[in-house]
Amino acid sequence: MQSVLIVVHLLVVIALVAVVLLQRSEGGALGAGGGGGGFMTGRGQANALSRATAILATLFFASALLMSIIAGWNRAPRSLIDANAPANVGGAATTKKPDQAPQGSLLDQLKTMENQTPAAPTAPAAPAAPATPAAPAAPATDAPK
């Protein structure tokens, strides 16, 4: 069904482009050639091409709308949070090797990180002993007031 609709849509698109290019415009385009004495002249040609353009444009929009509706039928609603649910739903969090790629959704990864026990905290390094101060600077002499 979709393949047939795509082929029909492409045929309508090609016909619509051809009809638009055949129309006479102020700049000339492809419809500028030819003179009098043809099968359709002037006003009749403009009416037929305008009507064909309107019909083809309607078919184009209808087929595009129908294709989007048919594509929506095949799509099942899903949640971004529940995508790739973990295998162990009710168990304890598993630890992973650092080189192993994380699996599950972002929410599952955050819960796993939250449940992991942190490593024993290390004591902060003692501050370096202050250097012995140099000799005190000479007091400034008071200037006369």
Residue with the bigger pLDDT between 126 and 9: it is 9
Q: Is a pLDDT exceeding 80 seen at residue 33?
A: no
How many whole angstroms separate alpha carbon 117 and alpha carbon 94?
11
Spatial CA neighbour of 12 closest among 65, 72, 74, 71: 65
Task: Express each pLDDT in 73-124 by its tens digit.
Answer: 877 777 777 766 555 555 555 555 555 555 677 778 888 888 876 666 666 6
How many whole angstroms separate alpha carbon 17 and alpha carbon 56?
9
Taking the domains of the chain in order of start, what are their residue ranges? 2-30+42-73
When the pLDDT of each residue in the chain is averaged and rounded to a whole number, the result is 74
- pLDDT category at 128 given cuts 50, 70, 90 is low
Q: Distance of alpha carbon 5 from its chain centroid, rounded?
A: 26
What is the pLDDT, as a whole number, of residue 78? 72
How many whole angstroms separate alpha carbon 26 and alpha carbon 28?
6
What is the pLDDT, as a whole number, of residue 114? 80
CA-based radius of gyration for the chain: 39
